[in-house]
Amino acid sequence: MTTTKDRVMYAADTAKPYLGRALTDEEFRDNLRAAFAAARAIYDELSRQRGGVSSIAASVATDEDVQSNLRRAIKELRQAADRIAAAQEERASHTLRTISLVTIGILIGIFFNPYTGRDTRRWVSGKVKKGQDSVEDYSPNGSA
């Protein structure tokens, strides 16, 4: 059973990347501001009308200003979401790059260590040569 506290914590965790991005990315903030301004213009336009839901729906369907503001809000929100997605992909690619660089650094350290490097290189060379010998002995028609 989820409690209110759990739901609030989940919502906070979900919003965390957006808030972090909003604090550091000026273009993301510009997208959000423009989307908010467009949504506010739609709200102002529709809140002035009287006549209930049907007149508001008719206005959304026919009013060019409302439609253009709606398109602008959607475009800005998409751009903001794309920036979040790009940042997450970039972070993932940086992780892979970092792991690769660390692994290469460790291998270089092992192979060129002044105390154990020579023995390690001989051991690896022996394993590679042994693997090549078994490949050379293999005949594709089974007469090995």
Distance, CA of 82 to CA of 84 (rounded, Å): 5
- 97, pLDDT greater than 50: yes
| Cβ atoms within 10 Å, residue 59 | 18
- Phi/psi at 69 (nearest 5 deg)? -65, -40
- 87, pLDDT greater than 60: yes
- 115, pLDDT greater than 60: yes
Provide DSSP, 74-103: HHHHHHHHHHHHHHHHHHHHHHHHHHHHHH
Q: In the chain, where are the structural domains located?
A: 4-136
pTM of the full structure: 0.46
- 8, pLDDT greater than 70: yes
CA distances from 14 to 11, 18, 60, 107 (A): 5, 8, 31, 39
Please give the distance of CA 17 from its chain centroid, rounded to a whole number. 10
Give, in degrees to the nearest 5, the angle at Cα 124 between 121 and 130. 135
